Structures are given as C-alpha cells and as structure tokens.
Amino acid sequence: MRLPRVLVHLSRHDDKEGRGMGLFGRIFRAPERFIEVGKGLVLRPPEMDDFQAWAVVRAESRPFLTPWEPSWPSDDLTRGAYRRRYFHDADPDFLHPYFIFNGSSGQLLGGISFGHVRRGVAQSAMMGYWIGQRYAGKGIMTQAVPLALNQAFGPLGFRRIEAGCIPRNIASIKVLEQNGFIREGFARQYLCIAGVWEDHFLYAKLKSDAMP
C-alpha cells in the first residue's frame, strides 16, 4: 500500500537542464522531494531551522554514534558544518538527505541519506542512516527505511540502492535484512570509520525487489 506524499518544493535549480553527465555523472537539476508519512513517522528533507534540534540529538548521542561513523571534525556540530553537510546548491544531486521525525511530537529522531550518486547507466546510490541514542532499539529505523526507499525508487529516480555495514554492527544488519536488502559481498578495509579502516558487508536492494 502506497504511503501518502506531500510535495515539498521544486529545486531552485529547476531552470537548468536535468541531463545526466557521462556514464555515471549526476543530474544538473535536483529531483522533486516529498514528505513521507507512515507508522507514526514523518520523513522530510532537512531545513536550516532544524539545526538546533539536529545539534542537540547528535551531541547527546555522540558516544553512541562515533564507533560507526567517520571521525567527526572539530566543528561538526556548528551551523556552518550543518550547512555544508546537507545543502549542496552547486551540485543538487550530490546528496539526498532526509530527517526522521516523530509524527506526533515532531521530535527529530535520526536521518537517512542517499549519496555516492551514480546516474547514467547505473542510477544507483549509497544509503546511510543514523538514529539518536535515546531512540535506538525501538524499531524506528526499520520502519523509516521503507519511507526513504519510496523516495529513492520514486521521485529520486534510482533503481539500485546500496548499503555498507560493519560486520559486528548487528543492529544495522537487522535493519537492512528486515527491509529486504540482499548481502552481495564483503569488502576489505572498505571505509575509514572512527579512524580505523573497517571491513564491510555490502548490501543492495533493487527497485524491482519486493518491499517487506
């Protein structure tokens, strides 16, 4: 059953052509983005007004998040770093981030992003996600991923979404497998996480795969 969508806005780059660049190049015009609502959650693109809530959740969750993320820069929780992370006006197809909110309270819970975009003959992206420590272990991310995939396989136009996971991150593995991601491989020293080059399981889900 399709979840309801609400149109947020057209990109400010909608006067530019949306053609792909080369074999894998990104498009010049950002796709339309929508709000997804379902299972007591709201998924939408970040806004600058979300900075304070984001900074609070990230700061209080830092010990919980840092073992699974690239090393945080010294200014990571500043407004400037927030803008650089989520807003890429010069390249609107560089990253497609979404925040997860409690549908009743409006509390920011975490985020899901689609990056490492490859258009052209690939039409794929890499999915990353994080959840605030106080909201972990409640099944929130498992419920939020289908909302994000509605965006990825719908208005964002991808046909393949990939995800990497450190083998000892059991919670993340459950999120992926419960949402129908298939483990396709094992990559040695795939990403530098918390200053260490970590091996990763490689997962993927296709647009044609059934949703759980």
Of 177, 168, 176, 92, residue with least CA distance to 127: 176
Position 211 scores a pLDDT of 76
36 with 21: CB under 8 angstroms? no
Residue 143 to residues 8, 39, 95, 111, 139, Cα–Cα distance (Å): 21, 7, 22, 12, 6
Please give the domain boundaries of the chain with CATH numbers for all domains: 5-163 (3.40.630.30)
Helix 51-60 with 79-86: angle, nearest 10 deg: 100
In degrees, to the nearest 5, what angle opens at C-alpha 70 toward C-alphas 68 and 71? 110
Task: State the residue for tokens 């900074």.
Answer: 55
Position 66 scores a pLDDT of 96
Helices (H), the chain: 51-60, 62-65, 79-86, 140-153, 170-178
Burial 73-112 (b: 16+ CB within 10 A, else e): eeeebeeebbeeebbbeeebbebbbbbbbeeeeeebbbbb
Radius of gyration of the CA atoms of the chain, in A? 17
113 with 127: CB under 8 angstroms? yes
Predicted TM-score (pTM) of this structure: 0.86
Could you give phi then psi for residue 67, rounded to 5 degrees?
Answer: -65, -15
Please state, in angstroms and rounded to a whole number, the distance separating the CA atoms of residues 79 and 95. 18
Position 20 scores a pLDDT of 45
pLDDT in tens, the chain (212 residues): 344 444 443 333 333 334 445 676 767 666 666 789 998 999 999 999 999 999 999 999 999 999 999 999 999 999 999 999 999 988 889 999 999 999 999 999 999 999 999 999 999 999 999 999 999 999 999 999 999 999 999 999 999 999 999 999 999 999 999 999 999 999 999 999 999 999 999 999 999 997 76
